[in-house]
Homo-oligomer: A and B are copies of this chain.
């Protein structure tokens, strides 16, 4: 087989004429999110992402400065997901904020890998989606009647609670996902080790064993709602002196 002549430019090997901009930043970000959702943060590599997009890994660097920048773009893209309603009636601010908080939690649980990323890349983004979200949330607090010098602090308090509890849940869920079990199986399997570890700390066991038969996801939903109500109670108290 004497087909050793210019193997890269052989008629059959020659790549089909691709149109310009075959690869766009939007496609890269979208595929990265898909990969992250499917396999988790430590499975994201530029080579793997390139393969999924049908290109070489180094081609991605034409559209993205480096991996850190890609993650920044990906995080901001996800920040575009939550629905943050506009408050028309100031007395209904609490329902609106509750809705936003629920959306933010859902966002984090849909993309559990975002929790460690937030810890690396910073919570305060200057990405357009993150800014739009923050601005809309701040508007809800403004409509509620918080004074200008307190609005920021009130929003930061809510955000800290939501991100904090959602990060905890996300870490827990991706731990389970890596084990390949369902949440209930995993909880049941860990119980002996947990009982053993809490032998000296009976207080820690009381609460969890009480609701041993309740669906774990239900427990998490209730916990989130409870804390959110307490935080909003504390904030609301500042409005009616």
- Measuring CB to CB, which residues of chain A are less than 8 angstroms from any residue of chain B? 41, 115-124, 126, 128, 131-132, 134-135, 138-139, 142, 148-154, 156-157, 159-165, 167-168, 170-172, 175, 193-194, 197-198, 201, 203-204, 206-208, 210, 222-223, 226-227, 229-235, 237-238
Q: Are B164 and A207 closer than 8 Å at their CB atoms?
A: no
Q: Are B201 and A171 closer than 8 Å at their CB atoms?
A: no
Q: Are A226 and B153 closer than 8 Å at their CB atoms?
A: yes
- Chain B positions within 8 Å of A159 at CB level: 164, 168
- Chain B positions within 8 Å of A233 at CB level: 233-234, 237
- Chain B positions within 8 Å of A131 at CB level: 197-198, 201, 204
**Shortest Cβ distance from residue A162 to the other chain B in the assembled complex, whole angstroms:** 7
A237 to B235, CA, bound (A): 12
Q: Are B138 and A171 closer than 8 Å at their CB atoms?
A: no
A134 to B168, CA, bound (A): 14
Q: Are A171 and B238 closer than 8 Å at their CB atoms?
A: no
Identify which of B119, B201, B222 contacts A115 (C-beta below 8 A).
B119
How many chain copies does the complex carry? 2
- Knowing A203-B135, A206-B148, A207-B148, say if A119 contacts B167 (CB, 8 Å): yes
A172 to B233, CA, bound (A): 28
Q: What residue in chain B is nearest A211 (Cβ atoms)? A: B149
- Chain B positions within 8 Å of A126 at CB level: 193-194, 197
- Chain B positions within 8 Å of A121 at CB level: 171
- Chain B positions within 8 Å of A198 at CB level: 131
Identify which of B116, B123, B160 contacts A161 (C-beta below 8 A).
B160
User: Top 5 A-B pairs ranked by shortest CB distance?
Assistant: A164-B164, A234-B234, A157-B227, A116-B119, A152-B207
**Shortest Cβ distance from residue A139 to the other chain B in the assembled complex, whole angstroms:** 6
A194 to B127, CA, bound (A): 10
**Shortest Cβ distance from residue A197 to the other chain B in the assembled complex, whole angstroms:** 5
Identify which of B134, B156, B210 contacts A204 (C-beta below 8 A).
B134
A233 to B131, CA, bound (A): 29
- Chain B positions within 8 Å of A201 at CB level: 131-132, 134-135
- Chain B positions within 8 Å of A238 at CB level: 230
Q: A118-B119, A167-B167 are in contact. List 14 more A-B contacts (CB 8 A).
A: A116-B120, A124-B168, A135-B203, A149-B207, A150-B226, A152-B223, A157-B165, A157-B227, A157-B230, A160-B165, A160-B168, A163-B164, A234-B234, A234-B235
